[in-house]
Each structure stands twice: as structure tokens, then as C-alpha cells.
């Protein structure tokens, strides 16, 4: 067993130049699969810079993307010094009858051309209810030498007293600055990304005192080697489309490096699932409720996607659901067909007790079953082809590139005064893709 584990670690190390999901949490491209701002919810995010190769800082891009459209409602840059952190929250407020969606942070890391942001009805091309939930991307665009020898003199951003001095970075984006360019990427003084970021996120219901951890999907070795992908603060780039066209997939119990036609397929391969199963509980006696988020971060790059602020049958993937009780019996009365829509779909399993309270969530409340397993089967799947670099063997991978998270809440109505009475738990939903061999001949 020890030999097998050691061999696996060695093989993984040798193949580590490929994009891979990293359960350790450090990487180059991070997806927070849900932010939600209705029903008194606030989403919080903390980004930590982890020095990897010398005393270097990191240039970070943050995209906040709504549920129905892949165009970010906010994109900005943050420049983190070694061991620095950047924390922010996204929530909503109603002032004078007008609901506002708010981004806020009290950190002082360098964020050029960025100010506190609030969106409200009438300020966008659609009602704000389409913006109140979605997902967030945190991207390591590149690293920089954190000292005076930096070739452009931009990144010594802490003065001799340890205070942030961001003026040089601000100036770099002004006219005739080193980042004032018509080029897509402005990489002056930037080194390639090197898996130096760790990201954590939570959903908090402040009035009820409930906090849910949001599992973050992290890709290591995401970008092609020896290249930075640094853009202006208001740029919607980089995206998942910049991924290298190869990924590390577990096949027959072994780490296998597969190459794909493009980077999006490499990321799809890491996320594909043909079905999902997750525990649920909706007992009235403890005011229990279950909510599920299903996020497809590659939605905009797949053929069956819609970039508009609405969904219809022509631009959706369908899925079937059923419930399984505690004795393992499937309830046929709870079988139904539904549609995924846009980047993020929310499912509520208790009509009168929604965790999210979003206008566009789907109500799939099981009848005659208040605890068990909620099963999802994707009926419109995609199939992509990957080639084993070592053997030239081809594999067909099918499923949908979905990140699923379950949120459960319960209340102890008999708790003594002063004791915690609200409970919230969350967990990532695991699933498997379908894999078949296309060509078994070794060339």
C-alpha cells in the first residue's frame, strides 16, 4: 500500500504541468460557485497570497458574474504583496425603496482604478434581480519581484514604514504608463503565474446568525507555461478560455495526462458529471430547509449557451430529479424534469422555507419525503475527446461541467436562552462522468 501511494505521488508530480483540480486549495484559477445576496445573505471572500518561489507578489483579477449572463458585472485588479490578503463582501441593501447590490472591502491592498461599487434598479440594462446571485472568479494573472530591482519600478508598493503606496501602480495605467497599451495583455515586469493564491468564501445570514462555507473549486497549473496574463483593471480577461489544452484526469485509478482540442475542453473534462446525489432534510419540526446551487462556469463557451438575460428551451440543458428515502427506496412521485439555465441554477427543496429567496430559483419540493437523498441525472450531456499523451489512446468523456453545492439549515426551537439555535452546513456535491475508450490501439 505504501509503495502504491508513493508511486501515485511520483506519477502525479511528473504530470503536474497539466491543469488539475487541487484539493489543497492553492492554484491559479479559482471559482467560487455561488454568491447570493437575497434573503439577508451576504457573500464574503478572502484571498491569501502564498509565497511560492522567492519573495514575490501576485497580480490578481476578480470577476463577479451574474446567474444568467457571463459578462461580469464587476472586474478589477488587486496587487498582493507576499503573505498579503484581500477580503471583500457582496450583499444588497434597500434604501428609500430602491434595492442596491453592493461590493465592499476595508482592506488597503492596491486596487487601481477601483472604487466602492453599488448597483441599483435602473442602472443596468436589466432588473437587478438578475444580478443578485451568480459566481465569482479569482485569477492569478502573474507574479512580480517585490523589490526595487523590478525593471519597471512599479511594484515596490510598500513604503519603509510598511504602509501601502499604490501610486506607482496607479500611474502605470495612465497615459504613457508602462501598462498604457492597446495590447490585450500588458505583462511589463510580470512573471508567469505560479499557484500562489488560496481562496475561501462563505455565505452569511446575519439576522439569523447562520454561516455556510462555500467550497471553492481550484485549478492548479491552469495557464500555459512561461507566460503571464495581466490585463487592465476593467478588462473582462483573462477567462477560462486561456487554459492550457491539457488536464490531469484519473482513469482506472491512475493519474493520466489528456490533451484536448482547446483549453475549455480541458477544463470541462475536470468538471464533467453525468449525475449527482446529495443528502437533504426538510423536517418541519426543526424548520429544516435544503437549497442546492448548480454552476456551469464554462457555460458561455459551450454550444448550448445563451448570453441573453433570459432562458428558454432552446438554450438550456435538462435534468431529471428523484428522491430516495432513508431505506433506499426511490419515490416515483418525486420524479420530474427541469432545466439548467445560464451560469448558476438555484434549487429550493422546501417551498415555504427558501434559503436563497431568489426570484429565479427553481422550487422542487419533494412530496411525502422529508429526508434522504436527492438525485440529479443530466439528460442533455456533452461529449469531449481526450488523448492520452503516453499511449495515444483516445477517450470519450461525457456529462455536464457542473459544480454543485448543497446548503442545509435547521433550527432548535427548544434551545435555552443565549444558546445557538440556528445551524447551517454545506458541502460540495460529488459526481462522476461517463468514460469510454474510442481507440484502444497504441500507435
Is 0.75 topped by the overall pTM?
A: yes
- pLDDT at residue 159, rounded to an integer: 62
∠ at Cα 398 (392, 401), nearest 5°?
115
- pLDDT at residue 314, rounded to an integer: 52
Domain range annotation of the chain: 18-242, 246-439
Instruction: Check: CB of residue 139 under 8 Å from CB of residue 28.
Output: yes
Tell me how far apart the alpha carbons of residues 325 and 321 are, in angstroms, rounded to a whole number: 14
Handedness of CA 419, 420, 422, 423 (dihedral sign): negative
143 CB-side CA count, 13 A:
26
Stated as kind and residue range, the H or E segment containing 94 is strand 85-95
Instruction: Check: CB of residue 31 under 8 Å from CB of residue 217.
Output: yes
Mode of pairing for the β-strands spanning 362-363 and 344-348: parallel
DSSP state, residue 271: H
**Cross-strand pairs, 370:** none
- pLDDT at residue 352, rounded to an integer: 83
The closest of 374, 398, 245 to 322, measured between CA atoms, is 374
Instruction: Check: CB of residue 343 under 8 Å from CB of residue 70.
Output: yes
Tell me how far apart the alpha carbons of residues 67 and 437 are, in angstroms, rounded to a whole number: 35
Residues making up the chain, counted from first to last = 443
Residue the block writes with cell 417551498: 351
Question: CA 91 from chain center: how many Å?
Answer: 17
- pLDDT at residue 285, rounded to an integer: 86
**What digits encode the pLDDT tens for the residues 369-417?**
788 999 999 988 999 999 998 889 999 999 999 999 999 999 887 766 7
Cell numbers representing residue 161 in the block = 514604514
Tell me how far apart the alpha carbons of residues 420 and 160 are, in angstroms, rounded to a whole number: 46
Tell me how far apart the alpha carbons of residues 402 and 144 are, in angstroms, rounded to a whole number: 34
Tell me how far apart the alpha carbons of residues 379 and 274 are, in angstroms, rounded to a whole number: 8
- Residues in the chain, pLDDT under 50: 1-15, 121-126, 442-443
What is the rounded end-to-end Cα distance, in angstroms, of the chain?
Answer: 33
Tell me how far apart the alpha carbons of residues 277 and 406 are, in angstroms, rounded to a whole number: 10
- pLDDT at residue 123, rounded to an integer: 46
Tell me how far apart the alpha carbons of residues 372 and 322 are, in angstroms, rounded to a whole number: 11
- pLDDT at residue 420, rounded to an integer: 65
Instruction: Check: CB of residue 224 under 8 Å from CB of residue 210.
Output: no
Cell numbers representing residue 11 in the block = 506519477
The closest of 64, 177, 163 to 114, measured between CA atoms, is 64
Q: CB neighbours (10 Å) of residue 389?
A: 14
Tell whether omega for the bond before 238 is within 30 degrees of 0, i.e. cis.
Answer: yes
Cell numbers representing residue 270 in the block = 475536470
3-state percent breakdown (helix, strand, coil) of the chain, nearest 5: 10, 45, 45
Instruction: Check: CB of residue 247 under 8 Å from CB of residue 270.
Output: yes
Amino acid at each position: 500500500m505504501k509503495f502504491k501511494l508513493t508511486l501515485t505521488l511520483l506519477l502525479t508530480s511528473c504530470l503536474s504541468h497539466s491543469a488539475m483540480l487541487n484539493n489543497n486549495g492553492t492554484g491559479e484559477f479559482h471559482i467560487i460557485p455561488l454568491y447570493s445576496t437575497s434573503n439577508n445573505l451576504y457573500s464574503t471572500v478572502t484571498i491569501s497570497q502564498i509565497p511560492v518561489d522567492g519573495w514575490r507578489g501576485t497580480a490578481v483579477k476578480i470577476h463577479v458574474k451574474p446567474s444568467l449572463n457571463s459578462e461580469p458585472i464587476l472586474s478589477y485588479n488587486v496587487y498582493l504583496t507576499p503573505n498579503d490578503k484581500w477580503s471583500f463582501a457582496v450583499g444588497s441593501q434597500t434604501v428609500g425603496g430602491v434595492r442596491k447590490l453592493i461590493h465592499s472591502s476595508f482592506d488597503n491592498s492596491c486596487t487601481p482604478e477601483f472604487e466602492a461599487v453599488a448597483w441599483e434598479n435602473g442602472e443596468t440594462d436589466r432588473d437587478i434581480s438578475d444580478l443578485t446571485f451568480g459566481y465569482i472568479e479569482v485569477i492569478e494573472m502573474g507574479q512580480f519581484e517585490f523589490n526595487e530591482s523590478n525593471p519597471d519600478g512599479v511594484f515596490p508598493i510598500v513604503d519603509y514604514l510598511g504602509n501601502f503606496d499604490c501610486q506607482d501602480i496607479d500611474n502605470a495605467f495612465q497615459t504613457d504608463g508602462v501598462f498604457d497599451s492597446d495590447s490585450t495583455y500588458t505583462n511589463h515586469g510580470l512573471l508567469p503565474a505560479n499557484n500562489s493564491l488560496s481562496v475561501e468564501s462563505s455565505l452569511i445570514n446575519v439576522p439569523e446568525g447562520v454561516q455556510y462555507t462555500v467550497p471553492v473549486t481550484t485549478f492548479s497549473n491552469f495557464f500555459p507555461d512561461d507566460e503571464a496574463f495581466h490585463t487592465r483593471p476593467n478588462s473582462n480577461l483573462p477567462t477560462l478560455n486561456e487554459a492550457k489544452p491539457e488536464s490531469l484526469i484519473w482513469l482506472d485509478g491512475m493519474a493520466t495526462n489528456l490533451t484536448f482540442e482547446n483549453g475549455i475542453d480541458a477544463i470541462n473534462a475536470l468538471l464533467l458529471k453525468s449525475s449527482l446525489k446529495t443528502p437533504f432534510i426538510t423536517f418541519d419540526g426543526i424548520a429544516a430547509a435544503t437549497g442546492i446551487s448548480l454552476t456551469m462556469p464554462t457555460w458561455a463557451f459551450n454550444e448550448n449557451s445563451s448570453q441573453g438575460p433570459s432562458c428558454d428551451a432552446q438554450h438550456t440543458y435538462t435534468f431529471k430529479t428523484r428522491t430516495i428515502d432513508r431505506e433506499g427506496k426511490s419515490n416515483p412521485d418525486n420524479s420530474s424534469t427541469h432545466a439548467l439555465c445560464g451560469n448558476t441554477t438555484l434549487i429550493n427543496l422546501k417551498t415555504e422555507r427558501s434559503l436563497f429567496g431568489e426570484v429565479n430559483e427553481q422550487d422542487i419540493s419533494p412530496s411525502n419525503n422529508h429526508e434522504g437523498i436527492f438525485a440529479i441525472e443530466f439528460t442533455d450531456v456533452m461529449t469531449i475527446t481526450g488523448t492520452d499523451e503516453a499511449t495515444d489512446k483516445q477517450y470519450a468523456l461525457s456529462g455536464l461541467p457542473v459544480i454543485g453545492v448543497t446548503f442545509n439549515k435547521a433550527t432548535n426551537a427548544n434551545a435555552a436562552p443565549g444558546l445557538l439555535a440556528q445551524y447551517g452546513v454545506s458541502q460540495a456535491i460529488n459526481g462522476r462522468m461517463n468514460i469510454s475508450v474510442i481507440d484502444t490501439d497504441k500507435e
